[in-house]
Structures are given as structure tokens and as C-alpha cells.
Amino acid sequence: MTSGEFEGWNTLDKRTLAVTAVMMTGAAVGAAIPTTAAIVGGGARFWVALAWVVAGGVVLVAGGVLADLFYWKGVRYRVTPDRLETAFTLVFRSRKSLQRDRIRNVDLTANPLHRLFGVAVVTIGTGSHESGGQGRIKLNPVSRAEAERLRADLLRRAEIAETDDDAPLAELDRSWIRYAPMSFLTPTLGLAAGGGLMQISEWAGLQKGLVDWVIGLFRGIPLVVAILILLAIAMVVGVVGALGLWIEMWWNYRLDRESGGTLRVRRGLFTTRSISIEESRMRGVDLVEPLGNRISGAARVDAIATGMRQSDDKDKTDYHTLLPAAPVATANRVAAAVLREPVSPTEAVRLTGHPRAARGRLLRWWVGSVVVLLAIFALLGLLLTDVLLVIGAALGVVLLPVSVLLALDAYRNLGHGITGRYLVGRHGTVRRSTFALEREGVIGWTVKQSIFQRRKGLLTVVATTAAGAGAYSVYDAGEEQGLLFAEESVPELLTPFLERA
């Protein structure tokens, strides 16, 4: 690409260099404290250790800024009537382009440093799942105004009628924060905080002192009581962490229907996110109720849409979530509004239950899992120490009745039905899911039947679709029941493969 070919092309925002410099400085300072402590602990003088750490920090910051400068000078992009194109032209050359009529989402993200310098990251995707990110282009970063211009320009669809729906479909209700600790994330965060504290103390050479201090603190207290106190502390830390994470993710939340037929989710306290979904790509919704939220009467709403961006290993953002955990009535109202239905399909249909054989199957699965776990404890206890036998017995007293209750709850949650344009299915106990999928969006059926299901006259029917997760299952239905459901949901799709009695 010659210099003349750059005419009409845009560069990324130069403020990315300042963002990188501040970010790398923060990383260097964060690494300097434990590194200095480790060097001093090894016998070196403080000023010698400090000199080495400062020199390393300077190299780290300078290297990061130089690498970002190299990237900034090499990247160009432009928007033509037909395509979005990017090019990299330093040392090696590459070009990438997306057809504008295939672009399905334009998402904006800005962390605190981006917001401080007035820039944002724009991610443009087609919703396809090619390896290597071929269906996605990321511009990191551009000015905030340029990001909004790109979003409005690339998502414009002349064939979609304008709307005048100015009121948001949903806005943040601060009372929803009470649902944040009601998840398995809370104990996970608490235990992770304890593990992190132990790891940091090991890096600083203070782990033995920390352990001795904890033992001295609980001296004279029975071991069981001490363990319960530590678990309670971990839960408190987990609750605080869950609340903080919820605030960071969902503060300033707002769901809008914009002119041009686009649903837009905006959220985030420090890192702001703007996620767009074309209404023409919507194929349904999934009402998700994790056990803790279900007990407290809450559910979240996920979109089932074609061309939805899937989060990868480097980006854990839930791009399909339209509504965080909120009262079930609110979740159903938002689902109905998103689908432009008077009543959400997830509550408009009375679900058909599944045969009692499914209950026995679930009971065997849940109880059997606990029995296997207890057998492992018993075996290890016989080989290693009697303490494991005691722990296994205690777990058995708790887990066996819990497994029975979860199995019965899972059976009660099994169901399926048809209402208007949608087929509906429900399953799960630890995470109950009620999906409503457009019948026209089903492109195929998969019928699964294990040897154990065959003996009980059960099967699982899976609706295949180009939207959302790609497949939505109705588990452990009766043989005739499941096949009739599939046939009635999408007439003629499965009929040629059925044998009539």
C-alpha cells in the first residue's frame, strides 16, 4: 500500500499512547512492591533493590508505549458504502474487511482510563464464529464522538421503519442489588480472597507468620467453631465482592429501543459498555433463574438472536443479557416488550409436564452422584486417615437429602408447550432456564435417546437454530409426547421421518 492509498483512511486516536503509558505505569508500580520485598528478603539492600525495580519499571513502561506507537502508526480504517476495511502496513502488511450488510453488532467499551482521555473501543462483528476472529474488527481506541458516529452509521438499515419509542424498556432499579449476593459467585469470591491472601503472603515471605497469627487468634476455640467463623468471614467478603462486581457491571443500566429497529443495552460504572442487537435478528428470549435468585423471586433475561457475539476467553462480557437479575414480573414484562408481545411467551403458556419415569431418572442421577462422592471419601479414609471418614459421613448427612430435594425440584421444572409463534421449554434446578424460541427460527430437530432413556420410554428433543446457543433442548419427555411436540411446533419438518402406528 503506497502513501497515496491512505487518502480517505482514518487513524486510531493518538491518545491511546497516554492510556498505555498510565496503564503500564500502574502495572509497574503494582509489581514493584512485592518485587522489592522479595529482593530485600533475599539479603540485598533496600536502595539497591529499589534501583533494580525502578529500572525494570522504566523499561516496562517504555516498551509498552513503543509497542503501542508501532500499532498506532500502522493501523488505518475506513468506511465505504459497501464495506468496513482496516489495514496494517508497518513491517508486514495485512488487510481485513467486513461487508456492511453482514454487520450485526457494534459494541462500545470504555474503561476508566479510556473515559479519562475521552476515547472508546469499538468492536464490530458479523455474528459469525470463524476461527481467528475473522468475523470481527476491533478499533482500539477512537474518540468517543467517532465511536458513536461509527455505531450509528454501521447499524443504519434503510429498510427498517423509523420508530418513535422514546421511553426506555427498562432502567436500573437500585433495589435489584439485593439479588447480587444470591448466587454461587458469593462463596467463590470469598474463598478466592482467602486463597489470594495466602498467595500474597507467600510471595512476601510472610505466610508462616500469617498462619501462626490465625492459629493464635483461635487458640482455645473448638476446631469446628473456628472453621465456621472462618467460613462466615469468607461469606462476608464474598458478599462485599459480589455487591461491588454487580455495581461495576450494572450501574447506569438502561435498555432502549432505538429508531431503526435496534435494542441497545448501556451499563457499567467504571468500565462503560454499549451493546446493540438488531430486532430483526431476535428469535426469542431465555428467562434464567439461578437457584439463589429463584428463591428470592428474581430472574434475568437473555436474548436469543442470530449474529450474537459470543464472549471469548479474553472477554467475559455477557453480550446476550438484556436484563440483570430482577423481580420475575419485571423480567416477564421486559421479555414481552422486547418481543413486541402483549404477554411474554414464558408466562403465557401452561407447560406440559413430563412422565414420572423422568423423576426416577433424575433421582438416580442426583443421588448416585452423591454416593460416588461419598465412596471416594470412604476409600481415601480407609487408606489415609479416619478424619476423611468423619468428613464423608457429615457430607452424607447433608448432601443425600439435599440431592433428593434437588432431583424432585428438577422434575417439577421439566416442561414444554406452544404459544402463538413460540415454542417454550423449561429445565434445570441449580440454574432453571425457560426459553421461548420462535417456531420459524427452528431449522432442524435432533432426537436423542440413551439406553437408559429407551428403557423408560423417554427421549430428549433438541431444536436446532441459528440463534443464541444454537440448540435448545426439551429433556426427558415421553417418546410420543416429545415427537408430537416437535411435529406440532414446526409442521412438516419432522413428519417425513416419523412412523405412524
pLDDT in tens, 228-243: 888 888 899 999 999 9
Whether the predicted pLDDT of 494 surpasses 50: yes
Domain that holds residue 228: 174-250
Looking at the fold, whether 366 and 239 belong to one and the same domain comes out as no
Within-domain flag for 89: yes
Q: pLDDT band at residue 4, thresholds of 50, 70 and 90?
A: low
Residue 384 burial by CB count (10 A; 0-12/13-18/19+): exposed, middle or buried? Answer: exposed
Mean pLDDT across the chain: 86
Residue 476, judged by CB atoms within 10 A of its CB (0-12, 13-18, 19+), counts as: buried
Question: Do residues 450 and 434 touch, judged by C-beta distance below 8 A?
Answer: no
Length of the chain: 501
In the chain, the largest separation of any two C-alpha atoms, in whole Å, equals 89
List Cα–Cα distances, 201 to 89, 210, 259, 428, in angstroms: 47, 7, 55, 41
Closest to 119 measured CA to CA, from 94, 148, 158: 148
Residue 190 and residue 95 in one domain: no
Count of domains forming the chain: 3
pLDDT at 114 over 80: yes
Res. 355 pLDDT band, cuts 50 70 90: very high
| 48 and 151 belong to one structural domain | yes
Q: How confident is the model at residue 116 (pLDDT cuts 50, 70, 90)?
A: very high
Average pLDDT for 382-409: 89
74-111: b (≥16 Cβ within 10 Å) or e: bbbbebeeeebbbbbbeeeeeeeebebeebbbbbbbbb
Alpha helices in 349-440 (DSSP H): 356-383, 386-413
Element containing residue 277 per DSSP (H, E):
strand 272-278
Whether 92 shows a pLDDT value over 50: the answer reads: yes
Q: Which of 223, 250, 277 lies at the terminal end of a domain, its last residue?
A: 250
Per-residue pLDDT reduced to its tens digit, 415-463: 999 998 999 999 999 999 999 999 999 999 999 999 999 999 999 999 9
Range 298-322 average pLDDT:
73
Pair (20, 96) in one structural domain = yes
Same domain, yes or no: 90 and 201: no
Q: What is the pLDDT of residue 193?
A: 85
Check which CATH number belongs to the domain holding 91 and give it: 2.30.29
371 in a domain, yes or no?
A: yes
Can you give the three-state secondary structure of 112-173, one letter per residue?
Answer: HHHHHHCEEEEEEECCCCCHHHCCEEEEEEEEHHHHHHHHHHHCCCCCCCCCCCCCCCEECC
Q: What is the pLDDT of residue 259?
A: 78
Q: Is residue 142 located within the same domain as residue 207?
A: no
Q: Is residue 456 part of a domain?
A: no
Residue with cell string 434503510: 158
Tell me, yes or no, whether 275 lies in a domain: no
Q: Is residue 424 part of a domain?
A: no
| Average confidence (pLDDT) over 371-395 | 88
- pLDDT band of residue 90 (cuts 50, 70, 90) is confident
Q: Final residue of a domain: which of 364, 389, 412?
A: 412
As a whole number of angstroms, the distance between CA 467 and CA 453 comes to: 28
Contact 272, 141 (CB under 8 A): no
- Determine what percent of the chain is predicted with pLDDT higher than 90: 50
Q: Verify that 146 and 208 share a domain, yes or no.
A: no
CA distance 281 to 277: 7
The verdict on 107 and 204 lying in the same domain is no
Which residues fall within 8 angstroms of residue 413, CB to CB, at 6 or more apart? 426, 427, 428, 429, 432
Considering the domain architecture, whether residues 38 and 147 belong to the same structural domain is answered as yes
**Residue with C-alpha cell 443495552?**
265
Give me the sheet containing 431-438, strands edge to edge. Answer: 321-327, 298-305, 282-290, 431-438, 422-427, 415-419
Average pLDDT over residues 407-411: 96
- Same domain, yes or no: 94 and 142: yes
Q: Which of 232, 250, 268 is the last residue of a domain?
A: 250
Sheet holding 75-79, edge to edge: 10-11, 75-79, 83-88, 94-99
- pLDDT tens digits, 155-192: 875 444 444 456 789 999 999 999 999 888 888 888 88
Percent pLDDT > 70 in the chain is: 89
Task: Provide the grid cell at 351.
Answer: 407447560
Three-point CA angle 447, 451, 453, nearest 5°:
60
Are 182 and 146 members of one domain? Answer: no
> What distances in angstroms separate CA 445 from CA 449, 458, 470, 495, 496, one per listed residue?
13, 16, 11, 11, 12
> Exposure of 143 by Cβ count < 10 A (0-12 exposed, 13-18 middle, 19+ buried)?
middle
- 30 and 104 within one domain: yes
Taken in order 259, 260, 263, 269, the sign of the CA dihedral is negative
